Chain A
Amino acid sequence: MNVPKHWRAIPERYRMEAGKCRKCGEISFPSRLICPACNHNEFDLVNLSGKGKLLTHTIIRTAPEGFGDFAPYAVGIVELEEGVRIMGQITDCDPEKLKTGDKLTSKFRRMNEEGKTGMIMYSYKFVPDIGI
């Protein structure tokens, strides 16, 4: 039962909510209790732009449970405009054609579901930034 785990992650999964340190400006995604850069404990909540470029990626051909219908699919690390690095699935693309430096943007997508009758989990994924 992933319900509480997913529910707690809704702010970052649904709208990429991050914490910006009030003292040094460091952005933590997801938000934290203590700033890793200066140990300060006050944050402003900001939504990340979702826009960035691909740093590195791999193609998953043997997918874990619940992801089989997506295979083969790409998972990559994306450096956002805000400087934050995020791992995420890359969808709406030919995974074989992805390359480092590609401009990507986030979209709200279905991540997984707990079987046919269980909860549906939504999250951000990345797609090529083609203005669509």
Chain B
Amino acid sequence: MIGIIGYGTQIPRYRIKVEEIAKVWGADASAIKRGLNLNEKSVPAPDEDCATLSVNAALNALKRASIDPKKIGAVYVGSESHPYAVKPTGTIVSEALGICPRVHTADLEFACKAGTEGMFIALQLVKSGAVTCALAIGADTSQGAPGDALEYSASAGAAAFIMGAENLIAELVETDCYMTDTPDFWRRENAHYPEHGGRFTGEPAYMKHVTGAVLAILEKTGTKPEDFDYLIFHQPNGKFPVQVAKKLGFKEPQYRYGLLTPTLGNTYSGSSPMGLAATLDEAKPDQTILLVSYGSGAGSDAFIFRTTERLLKVRKHAPKVRKQLDEHRYYLEYGAYAKFRRKILKPE
């Protein structure tokens, strides 16, 4: 048996509301809020980035796993906002957690899917016996171009999972995936903001791959939507995951803990992993969770986890997602937000 032995998250304290962004661009805030099922998003402080969020999330995961960090033999950080173009984030995380020097690492990038790809690799390395424990993190501080639809949703956060073979809090039941070459969203070298295919990001991209991964894992395991206690889909906004869930035959109670976008925004590589963490915060032992990510480019990873008794024992050792999301928020005006996100040109 392999699976999750610890999990932890970090969400910044700062927020900006949809109204505040819409006001600057003369857009209709209520139409955006209704259309995207999105009210506000997290904003990283000027001293937060993918590496700091990763470290602080991983420290929380380590508290729950309560293992010697030296047992971690592999570290994977999935992100599209690694602080350096060349120089790994994984080395920073490993050093901060006291995992160095006998540890494998390389950074992963696959739009919003890099976090779950890291989880897949970490789980398989543990399963193979190559390492005792492995750490996988999905983290991003993503940016949308000013005035673009993505500016309302692109947010910041990290979720970290330590995988192992002993003292599981959630056992891995099965994995599957669905991936094709689909250019729905990209950012070229040296481009500050990404470009996307507008409506093309829906049906042939998000919907097709999430559906493909769900159907693949249901067929592989001989299960039906109603067999799952909880469901987490990637959440680029609050609308897409609900649409596809309902179309596939899932119901609202299944995603009530995992759907965070309405007040968090899209944390990209952290998005569906954060939903899994929020679900583990509330799940009971022996419940079944379906997690399906999505990354533009494009692909989806699917995982089925079953919770254990131990989950109840360890989850109090670190803050819950809802606490990080709902308490002690500082709301920004657009000017401060633009400064925080370095959208203002200054002399060198």
Contact = CB atoms under 8 A, between A and B. Distances in A.
Contact of B97 (A10, A15, A70): A15
Interface stretch (B184-192, B232-240, B320-328): B320-328
Nearest to A109: B47
Contacts of B328: 128, 130, 132
A125 B47 CA distance: 10
A108 B98 contact: no
Given A108-B55, A122-B52, A70 B47 contact: yes
Contact of B48 (A69, A109, A115): A109
Given A107-B56, A109-B52, A70 B323 contact: no
Interface in A74-120: 91-92, 107-111, 115-116, 120
Nearest to A47: B98
Given A120-B84, A131-B319, A110 B56 contact: no
B13 to A, nearest CB: 5
Contacts of A47: 98
Nearest to B327: A132
Interface in B30-84: 45-49, 51-52, 55-56, 59, 83-84
Contact of A122 (B51, B98, B319): B51
A111 B52 CA distance: 10
A130 B96 contact: no
Nearest to A69: B46
Interface residues on A, range: 20 to 34
Contacts of A122: 51-52, 55, 92, 96
Nearest to B94: A14
Contacts of A109: 45, 47-48, 52
B327 A130 contact: yes
A50 to B, nearest CB: 10
Contact of B95 (A15, A69, A110, A111): A15
Contacts of A111: 47
B166 to A, nearest CB: 24
A107 B319 contact: no
A110 B96 contact: no
A107 B327 contact: no
Contacts of A116: 348
B48 A10 contact: no
A108 B324 contact: no
B98 A131 contact: no
Contacts of B49: 110, 120
A44 B92 CA distance: 23
A132 B324 contact: yes
Interface in B279-330: 319, 323-324, 327-328
Contacts of B83: 120
A110 B53 CA distance: 10
Contacts of A130: 327-328
A130 B324 CA distance: 10
Given A69-B46, A107-B52, 15 more contacts: A14-B96, A69-B339, A92-B45, A107-B56, A108-B55, A108-B96, A109-B45, A109-B52, A110-B47, A110-B49, A115-B348, A120-B51, A122-B92, A128-B328, A132-B319
